[in-house]
Amino acid sequence: MPTGSDTDHVAIIGAGFAGLCMAIQLTKAGIPFTVYEKADDIGGVWRDNTYPGAGCDVPSALYSYSFATNPRWSRAFPLQAEILDYLRGCVDRHRLRPHIRFGTEITGARYDQGVWRLSSADGTEFTARVLVAAVGQLNRPKWPALPGMADFAGTAFHSARWRHDHDVAGETVAVVGTGPSAAQFIPHLAASARKLYVFQRSANWVLPKWDYRYGRGHRLLFRSVVGRLALRGLWFCFGDFVLYAAVRGQRLGRVVDWLCKRQLRIQIADPALRARLTPDFPAGCKRILISDDYFPALARDNVEVITSPIAAVTPDGLVTEDGTGFGVDTIVYGTGFTATEFLAPMEIIGRTGRRLRADAWADGASAYLGMTVPEFPNLFLLYGPNTNLGNNSVVVMIEAQVRYVLACIRQGGTVEVSPAVFARYQQALATDLHDTVWEAGCTSWYKTSDGRVTNNWPRRVLSYRDRTRRPVARDFLLGQQER
């Protein structure tokens, strides 16, 4: 077990897709590191989200590290359990477990005379020369602020903390929220509950998934790395050209609109329900759902879609603003994550005493290429601000970041982005974001409450990979700010 007292270490916070990728590359480079993980297992969101039907709506072929493509995916879109298995396999193959300090929650970090001093929930302090925060964007469940929630007498839980000990068979169940998580578990609840009320605040665009189990032909193709990389390349291009066009409101993106409208028309026969399920914002403004069984579930006789806003939760159910009451046994909150609160609840204090979240990010999180912030030397963020995607695999972004961070670490000394370079980057980012559909009239976890898009990368993934190919010396104040 690492002691954490070795200041030559790189400290990585989080053992999800990003933290593990960093750990693997540091192992390969022979650079010592410790991963601090607050839970007792690896996997991040794929450990936490175990709701029925949990899976990824990025194709399997694209949802792995490029240096560890997986020949064993069972289907076109992977399920949660096999993604977790895949990550565990990577951990074992690279012998990462001895480097991971499980059950250690880092609560904050302070830069002090060339080292990062990390504090943990149990009071232990660790030091490291380089700090890599890999805590993700979707790790803290968001609960709605509805009056009366605490007084509900039945069972209530969040989709990311699924109560597997609670069987909803024969019950009346309410689902609050209709995002990508809810779209995956609603078909399962609909099949076992006696009655299901789905409380929809906004309708969603839904693309067909066309999911299927891989057969012999696929398994043969995937035996070779070339076969795996070829399919990966095809999906990558579909995301970086067709889906990207939708995000930027370009003509090619209309195929996405057309596919979504066709899906709705084919799967929902009732015109009144179809009207309720038709979004009033452009496709891509919030994450497009990808599902074959969501609409059919909503069309079942035992399912009702409620669009009147929820006014309150009562001891025995919910009441909507039009005064209707819904008695239920169980409420499932599929209300997402506090995605714009990057790194919360940790507070990170830089070399000048400024706090990252409270001071530097008072108007919303931002980092140069999503990774570095002025006055926070040798701090690197993975899957940080403006590096999420609505159109491609985030794993590709993470790999680009890890390559970049590794090159910075190899440089030695302190690496801190220049304020002028950062300011120019922020300006260009704001211009790029302005042309996307995310700023159109919808709410989403991509933006802060005042409408600033802090989560998504507005250009092609190819362009991000190009920008992060290697650190450019003139972007940094190299070793000039030791204090």
The residues of the shown chain that bind ligand NAP, judged by CB under 6 A, are 55-58, 138, 144, 176-182, 184, 199, 201-202, 287, 310, 334-337, 443, 445
DSSP string, 212-234: -B--HHHHHHHHSHHHHHHHHHH
Least CB distance to ligand NAP at residue 348 (A): 24
Q: Which is nearer to ligand NAP, 372 or 393 (CB)?
A: 393
Q: Which is nearer to ligand NAP, 81 or 121 (CB)?
A: 81
Q: Which is nearer to ligand NAP, 29 or 344 (CB)?
A: 344
If one counts every other C-beta atom within 10 angstroms of the C-beta of residue 475, the result is 19
Least CB distance to ligand NAP at residue 417 (A): 27
Least CB distance to ligand NAP at residue 440 (A): 13
Please choose, from the candidates 30, 32, 56, the residue with its C-alpha nearest in 3D space to the C-alpha of residue 44. 56
**What is the three-class DSSP state of 360?**
helix
Which residue has 């660790």 as its token pair?
Answer: 126
Dihedral sign of CA atoms 43, 44, 46, 49 in order: positive
Bridge partners, residue 126, by sequence: 118
Whole-angstrom Cα distance, residue 365 to residue 54? 29
Least CB distance to ligand NAP at residue 383 (A): 11
Q: Which is nearer to ligand NAP, 130 or 313 (CB)?
A: 313
Please choose, from the candidates 469, 282, 279, 285, the residue with its C-alpha nearest in 3D space to the C-alpha of residue 391. 285
Least CB distance to ligand NAP at residue 462 (A): 21
Least CB distance to ligand NAP at residue 37 (A): 20
Bridge partners, residue 127, by sequence: 117
Least CB distance to ligand NAP at residue 58 (A): 6
Q: Which is nearer to ligand NAP, 176 or 190 (CB)?
A: 176
**What is the three-class DSSP state of 393?**
coil
Q: Which is nearer to ligand NAP, 181 or 401 (CB)?
A: 181
Q: Which is nearer to ligand NAP, 4 or 55 (CB)?
A: 55
Please choose, from the candidates 174, 181, 171, 177, the residue with its C-alpha nearest in 3D space to the C-alpha of residue 197. 174
DSSP string, 110-122: EEETTEEEEEETT
Q: Do 435 and 413 contact (CB within 8 A), yes or no?
A: no
